[in-house]
Structure 1
């Protein structure tokens, strides 16, 4: 009996809908923010088709030819995948920095082993900014499918041998329920089940990534498709009901495309809706009136190239964004990328996918005996081996750093992941205590979180040492360092730690006053980040349980100034940051990548970027409050680092302003403090009039 299923054109039309939704979502079009659910539609289709194929073979022959099944799957998927992988690897070698090529190499090996989903699970979230640096991120779904192909045929054969095939609908329902239950259990990462099963389950406490990337939490999507194999034999006689099922499924799927957002806990119960919608379309699409919306030539053509289109589109988008230094795609770029993806997808389908699926790779004993076919079949296998070795080499040899111009970025390559710690503006200094001290009495006190610490280098070299002043640091835990505040998150006793950091700074102030000095206090912190996690402490020392806003910050600043008395207070606002662009990456790109990127986009970020704009608006609000209250002096780092709407991240193409996405480097610390120096000196001179009369000004090195 033929193992081929009857062709169902509306399924190809549904494939077209799925792949186009993913493409448009990845092109950052705002009206299809839920396009990522197209992948879930593919899972339902796979569950249906693979289950139908296996069921037919088992029932017709009382056996399952595993060799035939897996060889067919290999020739169906591997040639197009390996072709895209080869070209993507070439692009990665030419464009990516060593740090990112090292990770890319690991992703190549993972993709070849069908473990991409597990690898990217360990790397971070699918919707994170860092996803834009992963050309093979989209292969996570292919690995999920391949893992399903590996497990499901064996499972079905065992059920058949055990006489359970007639109970399969009930078993699939139980499997769906169990998979959804796992979604609920692991979704928040804080469950009794996880806690009870030792620390080995600690990696799964990142609930959102766990349920997104791993197969057990996606099984219900395949199971819904598999259940259709039995449900589709139950036909509805009323045409109007068939039509309603079909059109309701399409409407529900369209609603998911339009309404779903990246921040949703997915798949979980949100994933059920697009899967049921896809199942309804498959069930009724063969007979519903208006099914031509999925069976017209346009839809069928996209359905036929859907696999190839899915493979090629994401590397194109990643490399384009990478070359543009992650700038927002213009509408022109969106159109060009969309058309290029479609054209390349069609070429891949026509000249690679189809010939290998139905020609060179067709499972046919006579073809196997032919010398030409045998030699041609070695090509994908050889490609697999070469790509695997190349990926392993990239991963184990620091991303082939020999590609980097030794006169520009090689000095940074050796640091690797240690770069942020080695180059931060507070490197080499303790978080608290004396930095520069002549009399063991604080003259200048820098307080706050790590955003206070990154100014230590600049304050030491530009302000304290030249003037012969003592500099003390009270750069403590990640808190909002103002009176009466704590932090919401778990991990430590914030109700003690946050007030403790503030108390240390106030102790230094008291120490100076007892020695007859009036110190200058400089407060700097990661303002918006700390506000997001902050909470108020009640009079009893308990969390108030409310969201902090700008009014709370203003009140806290006034209270702090009151506690300082006649000590001068300088408040430093948010630094612009890099909009999450990796500084190490910018400094160590290969020559071609540097040449293709415009310097004004590679080494600067626009203030209009979402995060930068929020930081800038906060600074302007605090600046206005400082001017109105006259209680403290406010310094805005945007004024030191930005001009004409863009903020610098690297100076002269070689000096990093930041050590990571939001901490100033030693160079950046000196750069900003040098710009602030006239104001800081003027404030200090109010308390130490002799400090700057004879001291030399140390210039930025």
Structure 2
């Protein structure tokens, strides 16, 4: 039977506890947990979408009950209740994660995560991650607070939806039909926005409230129209629809994967499934999915699902970052950590989440007491993060030795086996040691398609060199600029993030990177008119997010040949082979190996795909291009090190620092010089 609560003299009906929804929470958190643990559920991220639908349903149900009963909404009471429900466990995990990271992770990594922690404490981590997602320079380890993005979306929804619902209730004169129409318009508008952003700016589609609001709105619609729809459904139809909904949720976890354009249209499957399951779960009785969702294991996991969601991510990610290099944990280790997460979640639910939610010290006091406490803990978390960040920035960043030998370009180099006090760039500055073209707008981000005439060196020279490719072409700009200034030639730059100059189809966040195809074609047309003396091509050796195995070597070399043969025949083509790649950012590794830099090196056979490079060389020469391979200056026959002389070689896992690239100018000249007019 429904229970009731009394507020300000008015009785508000409260629906009884729904075991089927508790079981759906278990399904959602299991999908996320198994996905993050790396097991065979490639679309487990849809568990978050299920949580969104459930939240939209439950919150709207409660708000409508209060509005219907009282004609008003006690906003302070609502926000205080939400704060008691979600913030104690959330802040506990946040604070403990910051403290553990301070003691266990590389200082350089901790310093970079401070802003994530602050954004989380201030309830906008999703916005920060959306901004980072559009920044190609964000070649960093996964944030320990990345999973808080969904809480950011929900917290922003909790802030805005009560205001919007009251406004709609008043504007529609309490007509549920009109209210349904208004909410439906909002849902459709949000869905359309999400689909558009998925193809134009996927990080904003994934992380922002406006593009995710339709999922919460779907739950809201179920809350509004559910009773009327259920009155027309019998038990068996409801059971069938409920099973279809559950199958859609679980099925989407196996059908979707990291190459899916998501959220986009693909999110409709799990969201519709969750909507059906929530709508029909109670009416279906024991014939519906509730018979499975109401079992004790599912009820247990549903009960601890919030705490489990909070604790599982840092528990799985922390061990992979301990040495400063991203490592893949064995399946049995991740399995153990997943089980440990369940145990910790149970403890947190029992001694943190539930006690705070039912605390008489808070529930019997005015809502402002709870809200003041929440603001105080938020401020404490910010101060703690700032303190940990300051400590990380002040941690030792080099050994006590100075590199005696200047950086020299020799094949089979000798690597410096410690972090010298005179290393350039420093560990802290490594990620910002980037080419000039990143700051002046001449290196394009993923959205731009037009051709911009960026000229450097001697702009009046009759000798022209053009640089064309992705960020691995852009990394050679410092060397080419040095040569342009030394030898007085005109340097033109055409580079774009994640967009190779070779004619191959690229996926960007699971969707065809059409902006790349348009830009590449426009640049080639422009070069046909310009007819530079030399066109320098360089690209990332492979794009591993293009599906299993990445881009096949045959397609890659075919795309290379197509581009070379499409460029003006009067231009000489110089192809610079790709440089080594590491499993993590070398600077982070060095921050915990100040006196053992060799620990951050990588075997040459792993850092370079020599077979692919050989195929690329053969295809280039067959098409009439010249190939320049500088990797013997970066690696011995066995190892690829990270410090040569006093110079740090890499700014992240696969880009050279601008400083080291400039020092390679003489070697680049050995390939470029003979191709220029004498």
Match of 1:57 among 66, 84, 103: 66
Note closer, same or farther for the CA distance 1:471–1:143 as it changes in structure 2 (3 Å cut). Answer: same
CA contact (8 A) 2:31 2:44 kept: yes
Matched residue SS, 1:478: strand
Matched residue SS, 2:316: helix
What is the deviation of 1:237?
Answer: 5.3
Q: TM-score, normalised by structure 2?
A: 0.73
* Structure 1 residues 594-632: Cα deviation after superposition (integer angstroms, max 9, x where no partner): 49x9977744378668xx65xx443121344578x5977
User: How many angstroms apart in 1 are the aligned matches of 2:387 and 2:279?
Assistant: 48
- Superposed, which structure 2 residues align to 1:129-528 within 5 Å? 130=139, 132-162=141-171, 163-167=173-177, 168-189=179-200, 206=201, 208-233=202-227, 234-235=230-231, 238-286=234-282, 287-289=285-287, 291-323=290-322, 325-359=325-359, 362-365=362-365, 382-392=376-386, 400-407=392-399, 408=419, 412-413=426-427, 415=429, 418-421=432-435, 476-478=493-495, 488-490=517-519, 494-495=523-524, 497-499=526-528, 503-505=532-534, 525-526=538-539
Q: Which runs of 5+ in 1 are unaligned?
A: 190-205, 425-429, 435-439, 464-468, 507-522, 534-546, 689-701
Equivalence for 1:696: none
What is the deviation of 1:83?
Answer: 0.7
CA contact (8 A) 2:433 2:659 kept: no
User: How many angstroms apart in 1 are the aligned matches of 2:56 and 2:475?
Assistant: 53
What is the deviation of 1:296?
Answer: 0.9
User: How many angstroms apart in 2 are the aligned matches of 1:127 and 1:675?
Assistant: 28
Number of equivalences: 596
Say whether residues 1:582 and 2:585 are aligned partners: yes
CA contact (8 A) 1:253 1:274 kept: yes
CA contact (8 A) 1:656 1:665 kept: yes
Equivalence for 1:698: none
What is the deviation of 1:302?
Answer: 0.7
User: How many angstroms apart in 2 are the aligned matches of 1:108 and 1:301?
Assistant: 30
| CA RMSD in angstroms, aligned pairs only | 4.9
Say whether residues 1:551 and 2:550 are aligned partners: no
Match of 1:41 among 47, 50, 55: 50
What is the deviation of 1:24?
Answer: 1.7
* Structure 1 residues 149-193: Cα deviation after superposition (integer angstroms, max 9, x where no partner): 12222233334445224233333222222222333454444xxxx
What is the deviation of 1:15?
Answer: 0.4
CA contact (8 A) 1:649 1:656 kept: no
| Structure with the largest fraction of helix | 1
Equivalence for 1:650: 642
* Structure 1 residues 289-343: Cα deviation after superposition (integer angstroms, max 9, x where no partner): 2533211111111111111111111222332222251223321332132122222
Q: Which runs of 5+ in 2 are unaligned?
A: 6-11, 400-418, 439-453, 504-514, 547-553
What is the deviation of 1:34?
Answer: 1.1
Note closer, same or farther for the CA distance 1:471–1:625 as it changes in structure 2 (3 Å cut). Answer: farther
Say whether residues 1:107 and 2:106 are aligned partners: no
What is the deviation of 1:25?
Answer: 1.7
Note closer, same or farther for the CA distance 1:635–1:175 as it changes in structure 2 (3 Å cut). Answer: closer
User: How many angstroms apart in 1 are the aligned matches of 2:540 and 2:490?
Assistant: 18
Note closer, same or farther for the CA distance 1:228–1:647 as it changes in structure 2 (3 Å cut). Answer: farther
Note closer, same or farther for the CA distance 1:605–1:389 as it changes in structure 2 (3 Å cut). Answer: farther
* Structure 1 residues 439-497: Cα deviation after superposition (integer angstroms, max 9, x where no partner): x999xx99766767866988999x9xxxxx979785743398899xx974449962454
- Superposed, which structure 2 residues align to 1:512-661 within 5 Å? 525-526=538-539, 550-551=557-558, 553-554=560-561, 571-578=575-582, 581-587=584-590, 589=591, 591=592, 594=593, 602-604=600-602, 613=609, 616-625=610-619, 634=627, 636=629, 641=634, 648=640, 650-651=642-643, 655-661=647-653
CA contact (8 A) 1:423 1:665 kept: no
Tell me which moved more, 404-413 or 8-17: 404-413
CA contact (8 A) 1:111 1:139 kept: yes
Note closer, same or farther for the CA distance 1:317–1:574 as it changes in structure 2 (3 Å cut). Answer: same
Matched residue SS, 1:477: strand
Q: TM-score, normalised by structure 1?
A: 0.71
Matched residue SS, 2:95: helix
Tell me which moved more, 265-274 or 217-226: 265-274
